[in-house]
Structure 1
Amino acid sequence: MSFPRPSRTLSAALVGVVAATALVAINPGGVVLSSAKRTVPVEQRASEAPNVFFPVVSKYARDRKTFGKRPGTEIQAPCGAAVRAATAGTVLLSSSPTSGPNLVRVVTSRGKLTTYYGYMRRARVTNGQIVAAGQQLGNVGDLGIAKKCSLYFAITNGFSGVIKIDPSRWLNNYVGKPVPQTSLFDNNGFVLASFNALGASHTPSARYAGYASRTPKQVAMLAGYNVDVVGLQEFERVQRTSFLAAAKGTYDIYPAVTDKNSANSIIWRKSTMEFVSAETIGVPYFQGRIWQMPVVLLKHKASGRMAYFINVHNPASIRKYGDQSKWRAKAIAIEKAKVVELRKTGRAVFLTGDLNDRTKAFCPLTEGKLMISANSVPSMACAPPKTLWIDWVFAAGPARFTSYVKDMKPKNARISDHPIILTKAYLAE
């Protein structure tokens, strides 16, 4: 079986137009379904991180479409309504007589897309802070030259903001879709994935072929999506040997030795990522038996920035072993503690894995804004995304995402019993 080869920009390759009231939906072939006509006003259109958000949260929000009279538009809404970032980026705070004392700029990359948020009564971010799409920036106000409660919203592209963009048209085109550029934090990022390869010991079966047939197709899939780093679960000894032979030197791998613990491995594309160091952490698996899970420090060659990658597999509750929920909870606690430890270095930390839990995995890992999943917004409380699954990609620290896809292609093609989680990740420092 062959898989289509998307372009280097994951978001452009995997995500298209979304239906007016729906989240991104992927059909069995992995192609995003679209609606020929939107019926919901852009002010109320649904979106999910890391896609573009409408900047005001209010059922009363109304874009007055004033572009032309000024470089931006005024979005009328009640004072105090939440203002959120349309895209991920870096915050720059300033003031102006027209926009008021709480002018927020969110810069994707220098000389690239920048969004402006004015008239606000209050800014809830700090200068230099990195934000995710959908993250609150402040509150609607009536400061500057505002004549009534509203948000002044503008967009520029290019150094010194030389190219002004009609923000109303831009929002109508992109709310609910990935941001239309490849650069964030002055780099082009990398494709990070999580994939349960379906252990060789579970096949062949009536539904799934043996590893010898499935593994080369998995290699082709990863190559087709230009995956740079992937956390693999159920990656048993014979699969590893078959995978590396089919990949022909494209990837490096940790653990470097083959034993039971190598069933959970991290692989990375040698042309884009450089190995720095590695270790393992002991995590309880079935019946509390400790398995060593990989932790790798990699350098992103294009940006020169480094990040930690942790890959785990927490035990499922199955007939053979019964309820494993207490061991999953202990595993999450250990994994969270490792993230906290690694964050003390100042570097970003990514966690991939089959956690065999949805909110019970998400909430402990994200509370207090410790981490975000690739499809969530930072929150002090538990604020899970609408789309929940047991396979995850999380990030902590100076990193954000611009694309998230739960691709059912490998499950539908029966090369695994899981989807592959594909993300576009960027390091801010």
Structure 2
Amino acid sequence: MAALLLGMVLGAGALRLAGGTGSDGEAARLAEGTVAPSPTSTPTSTPTPGTPSQFTISSLNVLGAGHTGPHGNKKGWASGEQRMRWLTNVIRDNGVDVIGLQEFELPQYRVFMQMAGDEYGIYPGQTWGPKATRNSVAWKLDEWELVSASWVEIPYFHGNLMRMPVVLLRNLASGQEAYFSTFHNPANARGPAAKWRKQATDIEIALVNRLRAESGLPVYVTGDMNERDIYFCRMTSGTDMLAANGGFNDGGSCGPARPTYIDWIFGSPETTFTEYAANRGPRIRRSTDHPMIVAQAALPPVVTDPDCPTPTPTATPTPTPTGPPTPNVP
């Protein structure tokens, strides 16, 4: 059953974008591209029935190595490699099980893999080439295993499309499967980018709704969205997602928790989030200009259908979105 549901999602192919992002031609252009799924894996361990899934999830913009290189704009900072050594130790010390990384450039990727490559799986890594590491999802190998991995195209500076990862992971203890993604929506550093952030958010909202509707599995979104209230209100009104740090959206009024950051963790509503923190400890402050967002997440035990021995998702799928065509999603 799980394989069938996954196949439905991965078989979506190159579809089109939902949401009001401009002309039909522009929306279609943004969604062009073929999803490149990896084969579905089979479980490598036997989960214990009735076990809840409990894990530490994080989002971290590590400040790309180029910013502190010879031609960078962060003079006086340590090198990308040194900063990543500090951050890798912080990730370990926080017991992070799944993390979305942004601005994770090749020198930083190499340090992370050298220090923690036997502890963490990562996607895409260099799967798409040396620049592909910039947005990656990493997970503890003794807690999670990769079921499948793919990508969605997001407009970045000047609308240039960048692949950003979406992975389906299986918890080794509980058997629970869940989708994890990480995004970096463009800042105004190279000119006004609100248009591109809006289109990126449209794609991310449609992605969440598509995954929820077609699989019913939990979905998690991490990333540097370069927006505070706007992103929170759009994501929570357009999907059933909750922010790890709380906030409210009752359809008539909306407000994120304060203080509010441009770095986010969202999860589907069957998740219980606790111990949210925007960590700006000494090692983080000298390593990056972003906080490390960390939260504890818990999911109830999966329910096993006697007619389908694979654990079934705990979530209730949302209705399939109607209206404009749906996006290019895994």
Does the 8 A contact of 1:215 with 1:242 survive in 2? Answer: yes
Q: Distance in 2 between matches of 1:206 and 1:274?
A: 40
Partner Cα distance (2:105, 2:166) in 1: 18
Q: What is the alpha-carbon distance in structure 2 between the residues aligned to residue 413 and residue 369 of structure 1?
A: 33
State TM-score, norm by structure 1.
Answer: 0.54
Partner of 1:346: 216
Q: Deviations over 1:285-331 (max 9, x none)?
A: 0000000000000111222111100100000012xx21111100110
Amino acid corresponding to residue 347 of structure 1 in structure 2: L
Give CA-to-partner distance per residue, 1:145-166, whole Å, 9 cap, x none: xxxxxxxxxxxxxxxxxxxxxx
Q: Which residue of 2 aligns with 1:327?
A: 196
Q: Decide which of 354, 359, 380 is 2:250's aligned counterpart.
A: 380
Contact 2:233-2:249 within 8 A present in 1 as well: no
Equivalent residues of 1:194, 1:391 under 8 A apart: yes
The answer to which structure has the higher helix fraction is: 2
SS at match of 1:216: helix
Please show how residues 109-120 of structure 1 align to structure 2 within 5 Å.
none
SS of the equivalent of 1:360 reads helix
Deviates more, 1:398-407 or 1:349-358: 398-407
Q: How many residues align?
A: 243
* Residue of structure 2 equivalent to 1:251: 120
In structure 2, distance between residues paired with 1:293 and 1:380: 30
Task: Name the CA distance, whole Å, in 2 between partners of 1:196 and 1:407.
Answer: 12
Structure-2 residue corresponding to 1:208: 77
Matches within 5 A, 1:183-222: 187=52, 189-204=54-69, 205-222=74-91
Query: Is residue 161 of structure 2 the alignment partner of residue 290 of structure 1?
Result: yes
Pairing 1:93-242 to 2, within 5 Å after superposition: 187=52, 189-204=54-69, 205-242=74-111
Q: Is the 8 A contact 2:53 2:176 kept in 1?
A: no
- Alpha-carbon distance, 1:386 to partner: 2.2
2:248 and 2:256 in contact (8 A); partners too:
no
Give the fraction of aligned pairs with identical amino acids, expressed as a percent: 40
Letter in 2 for 1:349: V
1:418–1:410 distance in 2 versus 1, CA, 3 Å: farther
Q: CA deviation at 1:232?
A: 0.1
SS of 1:356's partner is coil
| Matches of 1:198 and 1:426, distance apart in 2 | 29
Aligned counterpart for 1:399 among listed residues 271, 295, 310: 271
Question: Does the aligned pair in 1 maintain the 2:124–2:137 contact within 8 Å?
Answer: yes
1:38-58 deviations in Å (ceiling 9; x for gaps): xxxxxxxxxxxxxxxxxxxxx
Q: Counterpart of 2:210 in structure 1: which amino acid?
A: E
Please point out which of 138, 142, 152 is paired with 1:267: 138
Pairing 1:277–2:148 present: yes
1:412 is displaced (CA, Å) by 5.5
Distance 1:282 1:411 in 2: 33
- CA RMSD in angstroms, aligned pairs only: 1.7
Q: Give the direction of change, closer, same or farther, for the CA distance of 1:362–1:305 in structure 2 (3 Å limit).
A: same
Report the CA distance between 1:397 and its aligned residue: 4.0
Find the aligned partners of 1:410 and 1:233 in 2 and give their Cα distance.
20
Q: Does the residue aligned with 2:96 lie in a helix, a strand or coil? A: coil
The alpha-carbon distance between structure 1 residues 198 and 357, as it changes in their structure 2 partners (threshold 3 A), is same
Which of 167, 176, 179 is matched with 1:308 structurally? 179
Aligned residue for 2:290, secondary structure, equals coil
Contact 2:275–2:296 (CA under 8 A) maintained in structure 1? yes
Stretch of structure 1 that moved more, 254-263 or 355-364 = 254-263
Give the Cα separation in 2 of the matches to 1:309 and 1:188: 14
Question: Mean alpha-carbon deviation: is it higher for 380-389 or for 351-360?
Answer: 380-389
Quickly say closer, same or farther: Cα 1:410–1:427, change in 2 above 3 A.
Answer: farther
Q: Deviation at 1:211? A: 1.2
1:402 CA displacement: 1.6
Deviations 1:237-263 (A, max 9, x none): 121111100114110100042432320
306 and 188 in structure 1: CA distance in 2 versus 1, 3 angstrom threshold: closer
Taking the aligned partners of 1:341 and 1:369, their CA distance within structure 2 comes to 10
- State the Cα distance separating 1:349 from its structure 2 match: 0.5
Contact 2:278/2:291, CA 8 A, preserved across alignment: yes
Q: Contact between 1:410 and 1:420, CA under 8 Å: does it hold in 2?
A: no
Check whether the contact 1:368–1:379 (CA below 8 A) recurs between aligned residues: no
Q: Which has the higher contact order (CA 8 A, sep 6+)?
A: 2
Mark the CA change 1:322 to 1:410 in structure 2 (over 3 Å): closer, same or farther: farther
Q: Is the 8 A contact 1:237 1:262 kept in 2?
A: yes
After TM superposition, the score normalised by the length of structure 2 is 0.70
4+ runs of 1 displaced by more than 6 Å? none
Q: Which runs of 5+ in 1 are unaligned?
A: 1-184
Aligned pair in 2 of structure 1 residues 216, 343: CA closer, same or farther (>3 Å)? same
The verdict on how the C-alpha distance between 1:333 and 1:410 changes in structure 2, with shifts beyond 3 A counting, is: farther
